[in-house]
Chain A
């Protein structure tokens, strides 16, 4: 695939300027931070409690903002302009994801600081967080590509906002409702399981399985995103 740093940087800068002037979307990035501060006041001190606001950052900031950025491009016909330029699929998808990726890292780091979570193994948690960000960006991209307008995107993204952050909580109900056992394989649940494993004695598989699960989710979602993008190139 033909990738150009100049083009990626141009799309990144454009998204940054658009985001900073779009208060309806940019204020959403502050919501999880406010929640994290309030959450900290409740005295939450378990891993699953720490990860509720972190997983909310991924759905509210990462997936939602990415979905809105792409849905707006479709609504205003600017995505077709990018598609007709020499920018390749890689340039556009990387360029459009880079801004949200950096924004996610900043908000996740700040949220972790605010909720007072101190990971037992920062390096492994950081890897899992990075792959989670990649997955949620893909999820936002898919939803944005499906939507015809920001309004439609805001509705399409709702299941992502509800299912993924609260997925780990569903596991508690899995004894009464066995079907909820599938929630264990959500990337958000795997993130919590990984963090919990790291707090005690753990095996290599305890680390590999959650990270591999998140990577598989990311890969599959990005393949779907690439496929939908190619379909959207033509009417």
Chain B
């Protein structure tokens, strides 16, 4: 497996304030990696260091096996795409004019614009000026710009934060398609369900430190329990653990047709984050 991103002991300070402390993680080619944490935890700073927009204070940061600093070189910038909440668009130009500019900067055929607009479901709106668009539509245009050149590595900073459920689902499907085509995705979010749906692995970032890392399944196994909750028709509910005694109890309720609902007590990623850090994700 090839590491697309390799970060070891990354530290970043702004004046005397520590933004990132001893952050280490590796992302393999073809992975969708979620960087989860509340606002101010250091997610955007990490993206900025990885894309050579901010200099690190200490540590090693490699992209495609080369120091991240080399991403400043124009030939390397074709290898990644980026969507951040401050990715600006030209408000007096139309959606199509904005994307045409970037298709020329990346020296792509004009068909790339249509493909990107189809990806974000905006082709029919392409003549609209950016100044006339809602926040969600602007987010989709920015995403179209980020994926237009089919980058090997895609950085997405809160990609669906301003989208409605229908467009969110549309974007998820598109991102999965891109990933199947080989694009590695580095995603930051504080939306745990988004991470569960999309990510192969996640890292919990809290106050500049990684507190846990692994696949959602692994983390749930590690931090959750095996119990299930049984709701009975009389309104009572009971927690059932593995074991002979609880199994007998459950068998009895089912035999006497008393069970109304059964559900697992598997924690959500949000529950695990809270358990580890003692704070919420928002």
Contacts and interface: CB of A to CB of B under 8 A. Distances in A.
B92 A84 contact: no
B127 to A, nearest CB: 14
B92 A86 contact: no
A233 interface: yes
Contacts of B97: 14, 17
B139 interface: no
B261 interface: no
B53 A82 contact: no
B51 interface: yes
- Per DSSP, are chain A's interface residues mostly helix, strand or loop, or mixed? helix
B104 A9 contact: yes
Given A77-B87, A84-B53, A10 B77 contact: no
A86 B93 contact: no
- Per DSSP, are chain B's interface residues mostly helix, strand or loop, or mixed? loop
Contacts of B54: 234-235
B25 interface: no
Nearest to A21: B92
Interface string A1-31: 0101011011101100110011000000000
A87 B105 contact: yes
B88 to A, nearest CB: 3
A84 B77 contact: yes
A78 B90 contact: yes
Nearest to B14: A235
Nearest to B97: A17
B105 A78 contact: no
Contacts of A235: 48, 53-54
User: Which 6 A/B pairs are nearest by Cβ-Cβ distance?
Assistant: A77-B88, A10-B104, A78-B88, A21-B92, A85-B105, A76-B88
Interface of A: 2, 4, 6-7, 9-11, 13-14, 17-18, 21-22, 73, 76-82, 84-88, 91, 233-235
Given A86-B78, A233-B53, 15 more contacts: A6-B104, A7-B107, A10-B105, A14-B97, A17-B97, A21-B92, A76-B90, A80-B86, A81-B87, A81-B145, A82-B105, A85-B74, A91-B74, A234-B52, A235-B54
